[in-house]
Amino acid sequence: MSGFTFTIDGAEISAEEGQTIMEAADAAGVYIPRLCDHEGLRHQGGCRVCTVKANGRSASSCTEPAAPGLAVESETPHINKLRRDLVEMLFHEGNHLCPICEASGNCELQAMAYRLDMTEPTKFPYLEPCRAVDASHPDIALDTNRCISCGRCIRASQDVDGKGIFGYVGRGIHRHVAVNAPALSDTDATVADFAISPEVCPVGCIIRKRQGFERPIGEREFDKAVIGAEIERKRDE
């Protein structure tokens, strides 16, 4: 493996052959916002929140290979505006009512909105989906009206748990995450699955019953630190 360097917003970053821009950035303590990407899962490049300009060209940094001498722009006002638009699109595509959602404070969509300064009413229309909640499983509930189609549960179940409980169905605006059975209780999903664990679903779509308010609001992950802080701390070390 040969090492090389490239730059993100002017700062030199070390990388190995085969690394994506985001992987190299994470290792160097530079956080690039993302929603559909998650450590330990295949890269998807679907949410586009990790969009950067690589030598001036738009690319999703989770899938774009790092290359020697590449000049990457990430934290520019323009790119952060694009990211904010994408996050707003996701808010408007689903039903995201933070005050009544048990994921509030642990929600990556909400945290990303704060990080990207989504501080005023948005200009987009609400699509107001109306999908049935699947509460069939004794320990798990699914409210896909809050799904952002990141597909992390799909990859986690397929590649880590080896179960394939979830999958995408439909096309375009009708594309959504579906269960591999008429209802979740017909699958072999358990709360012990990685796919069901709190770290996989970034929003309040996959709900673990009777656990929602074990930790009170105000003491949750993003109540204490901005999203991405964990990666950015590496830089100080």
Partner 1 sequence: MSAAAPVDLGEVAAISARYGDDAGRMLDILRDTQEAFRWISPEAMGLIAERTGLSRVAVDGVASFYAFLSRHPKGRITIRLCDDIVDRFAGLEAVTRTFEEELGIRVGETSADGAVSLETTPCIGLCDQAPAAMINDVVVTRLDAKRVREIVHGLKAGLSPEDLISERFADLSPYERATHMVDNNIRHAGQVLLGPVPEDAGLKAALDLRPGQIIDTLEASGLRGCGGAGFPTGRKWRFAAEAQGDRRFVMCNADEGEPGTFKDRVLLTERPDLVIEGMTIAARAVGAAEGIIYLRGEYAYLQPLIEETLARRRADGRLGKAILGVEGFDFDIRLQMGAGAYICGEEGAMISSCEGLPGEPKTRPPYPVTHGYLGCPTIVDNVETLCHAARILDKGSAWFHAIGEAGSHGTKLFSVSGDCLNPGVYELPYGLKLSELLEMVGGEGAAAVLVGGPSGTMVARDTFDRRLTFDDLATGGAVVVFGPERNILEIVEYYISFFVHESCGYCTPCRVGNVFLQRAIAKFRAGLANPEDIDYLRDLSSTIIETSRCGLGMTSPNPILSTLENFPLVYSAMVKPSGDGLRATFDIQSAIDDARKLAHRRSHIFDRDFTQ
Assess 61 for contact with partner 1 (CB under 8 A). no
Please provide residue 21's backbone torsions phi and psi, each rounded to the nearest 5 degrees.
-55, -45
Assess 71 for contact with partner 1 (CB under 8 A). no
Report d(CA 18, CA 16) in Å as an integer: 6
Which of 5, 27, 29, 45 forms a contact with partner 1 (CB under 8 A)?
45
Report d(CA 19, CA 26) in Å as an integer: 11
20 - beta bridge partners? Answer: 65
Closest Cα partner for 148 from 88, 94, 206? 94
Using alpha carbons only, how large is the chain's radius of gyration in Å?
18
As a whole number of angstroms, the longest Cα–Cα distance in the chain is 53
- Tell the smallest beta-carbon distance from residue 215 to partner 1 (Å): 29
Closest Cα partner for 178 from 214, 215, 134? 134
| Residues 195-234, interacting with partner 1 (CB under 8 A) | none
Using CB under 8 A, which of the segments 1-9, 58-66, 205-213, 214-222 binds partner 1?
Answer: 58-66
Which of 76, 97, 126, 132 forms a contact with partner 1 (CB under 8 A)?
126
Using CB under 8 A, which of the segments 5-13, 59-67, 206-214, 216-224 binds partner 1?
Answer: 59-67
Assess 178 for contact with partner 1 (CB under 8 A). yes
- Token pair, residue 10, equals 């002017």
- Tell the smallest beta-carbon distance from residue 195 to partner 1 (Å): 13
Which of 2, 18, 174, 192 forms a contact with partner 1 (CB under 8 A)?
174
Closest Cα partner for 227 from 83, 77, 112? 112
Interacting residue ranges for partner 1, rule: CB under 8 A:
43, 45-49, 51, 58, 60, 63-65, 81-82, 85-86, 89-90, 92-93, 123-128, 149, 164, 166-175, 178-181
